[in-house]
Chains A and B, each alone.
Chain A
Amino acid sequence: MKNEYIPFLSEIKEVIQHTAIEYTFRMAFEGDVKPGQFFEVSLPKYGEAPISVSGIGEGTIDLTIRKVGKVTGEIFEKYVGDKLFLRGPYGNGFELDNYRGHEVVVVAGGTGLSPVRGIIEHFAKHKEECKGLTLITGFKTPDDVLFKDDLKAWAEAAKITVTVDQAPEGYEGPTGLVTKYIPDLEIKDMENVQVVVVGPPIMMKFTVAEFLKRGIKEKNIWISQERKMCCGIGKCGHCKIGDTYICLEGPVFNYTQGKLLRD
């Protein structure tokens, strides 16, 4: 009988620092995995936390971890060559087929950029697979911006807005919440555009509302929910919303279902 609670060891192949407290750990992993899926990542000393996959490579997966809480904090003491215990991948993740052949707009708040990074990465590399790619991503301050190198690289293939909530004097980039950039966003195919929104609960709520205001269909909006999860496999109960287990049926939802999830 398979014991799904037993984690496996995975070597840290590379560590990429984004900010003072956010790093991407490139971990050894062989197997099928989709953007938006997650792993239960643990350091035995502290415990597990669900971390979404922020990148998929040849024999590797990226886990972008923000130093919050004691669980993820400990991981920062780990270095290349060390190992972490993982379980997963769990959850449904994003199906790229849902976006292929369409105009794609991604809005991400903070670490919400991690689960969607795989989507952007894919369509940035395969421009021909979509009819235009737009990313609006928001961070608290310029110091909090994640995946800076990627943002530069994607700029050739995608229209990118990086906005910050608070900026020091003299800052020249966009400021304000992501929602500020939606009303005037140029959308070519209002009928079929696929919108992906990931971030903190409040950010997702207001962002989706802006798109609905503009007449985007519910069925063309996708969200990813983040919840406390102690098991990732439909047992512990923490992630349940109504009759839906985020770990099993989510974390990615089409908004027609996602809107029914009320805490």
Chain B
Amino acid sequence: MGYRTSTAHLDSILRELSKEYSIYAPKTFVGEGTYSDTDRVRYGTVESLGEINFEVKSEFSYKEILTPISETLFYFTEDEVKVADGPKKGAIVFVRSCDLHAVKRMDDIYLKNGFEDFYYKRIREKTKFILMGCSQSFNSCFCVDMGTNKSDHYDAYIKVDGDSALIDGEFEALITRLEEVEEVTVKPDFVTENKTRVNIPENLSLDIMDSTMWNEYNERCIACGRCNFVCPTCTCFTMQDVFYEGSDRKQAGERRRVWASCQVNGYTDMAGGHSFRGDKGQRMRFKVLHKVYDYKKRFGYNMCVGCGRCDDICPEYISFSACINKLSDGMKEIEG
């Protein structure tokens, strides 16, 4: 069951909804690409379908909406703390199937795994996800092998088809506003095959850390962390206490958390001077095994959703999917 309406009508509904929700979607930021005269497609607020880039995979994922890159937790003085305000509006987020699966990973880390995260929860509770289908796979995608190519747990599905839009789902604020609609059967576009395939060996174990397969990354990786920052499932952060200078309230400031990367220097540094995984190859191992091995041991399913963003972004052309496909030989090397 679903509906067809005009994009003009849907746009008017989105405008209505934007009073209550900030609407986020992949958007082209002209001239903001890394290199001169290039654009960057990342998440930004939109008010109409026309602003959404449905064609290109966003360079960064939706996750910056649920966990802002830099998020103030509270303000403090010498003896008081005040919790920072959260966003006033709820959020409507346009995501592809892989990213919708990634939300489950974020939920499991932030809402389970120890205490519930106050900051994540207050945004997450007010977030609705609109699925944007994938009419075709991008080159680096491997969602099919990761089992994330299809999803049915969306609040709504929207597909723009010329001047009309196809809608499905149960997002009340959206569905109840639909007028002049035609009832049609709407089946979301899902890809069923990818050019990129991955094989995670069944016998994979931590012993693979002793394989020589990681050595090449010691030289190749520049430890920039882009792979982590674009990843829709990476959740690590670091705390920062900022002390306001020049204010008469001498001990006033704020505590923030900012995204952290297990590939960037300093990730494991302790106050006493000890650190771990100095080799970039071992950092790669740490990341790869988290995504396709040890997260699964803990939560029962793999962390990686196969979106391929890390492959797309790496300035050194290190392919995560290619690395997964080296694990099998790595295990052979270890097991002899």
Contact = CB atoms under 8 A, between A and B. Distances in A.
Interface string B47-84: 00000000000000000000000000110111101010
Contact of B239 (A3, A230, A248): A230
B99 interface: no
Interface string A141-164: 000000000000000000000000
Contact-size category for A: 35 or more
A228 interface: yes
Interface stretch (A26-34, A179-187, A190-198, A238-246): A238-246
A9 B79 contact: yes
A234 interface: yes
B128 interface: no
Contacts of A231: 237, 239
B110 A235 contact: yes
Interface in B153-209: 206, 209
A188 interface: no
A234 B113 contact: yes
B290 interface: yes
B260 interface: yes
Interface stretch (B4-12, B29-37, B116-124): B116-124
Interface string A31-71: 00000000000101111110000000000000000101101
A20 interface: no
A263 interface: yes
A260 B243 contact: no
A174 interface: no
Given A44-B78, A230-B237, A2 B115 contact: yes
A111 B272 contact: yes
A140 to B, nearest CB: 12
A237 B286 CA distance: 12
B271 to A, nearest CB: 4
A83 interface: yes
A236 B113 contact: no
B240 A238 contact: no
Which residue among A1, A238, A247 has the maximum number of chain B CB atoms within 10 Å of its CB? A238
B246 interface: no
Interface in A206-242: 226-228, 230-231, 233-238, 240, 242
Which residue among B77, B235, B236 has the maximum number of chain A CB atoms within 10 Å of its CB? B236
Given A1-B122, A69-B271, A240-B290, A235 B235 contact: yes
Contacts of B255: 5, 42, 44, 47
B274 interface: yes
Interface in A1-35: 1-7, 9
A3 B277 contact: no
B114 A48 contact: no
A165 to B, nearest CB: 16
A260 B121 CA distance: 33
Contacts of A226: 270, 272, 274
Interface residues of B, number: 54
B213 interface: no
Nearest to A4: B115
B206 A260 contact: yes
A105 to B, nearest CB: 24
Contact of B294 (A200, A233, A243): A243
Contact of A45 (B206, B237, B241): B241
A68 B122 CA distance: 36
A69 B262 CA distance: 21
Contact of A3 (B118, B206, B271, B290): B118
B248 to A, nearest CB: 15
A45 B79 contact: no
A242 B118 contact: no
A175 interface: no
Interface string A64-87: 001011011000000000010100
A200 B274 contact: yes
Which residue among B77, B78, B110 has the maximum number of chain A CB atoms within 10 Å of its CB? B78
Given A83-B79, A236-B237, A242-B206, 11 more contacts: A4-B116, A44-B241, A44-B243, A66-B272, A226-B270, A235-B113, A235-B114, A235-B235, A245-B113, A262-B206, A263-B277
Interface of B: 73-74, 76-79, 81, 83, 109-110, 113-119, 121-122, 206, 209, 235-241, 243, 251, 253, 255, 257, 260, 262, 267-277, 282, 286, 289-290, 294-295, 297-298
Interface of A: 1-7, 9, 42, 44-49, 66, 68-69, 71-72, 83, 85, 111, 200-201, 226-228, 230-231, 233-238, 240, 242-243, 245, 247-248, 260, 262-263
9 contacts: A1-B116, A4-B115, A5-B119, A5-B255, A7-B81, A9-B79, A227-B268, A236-B257, A236-B260
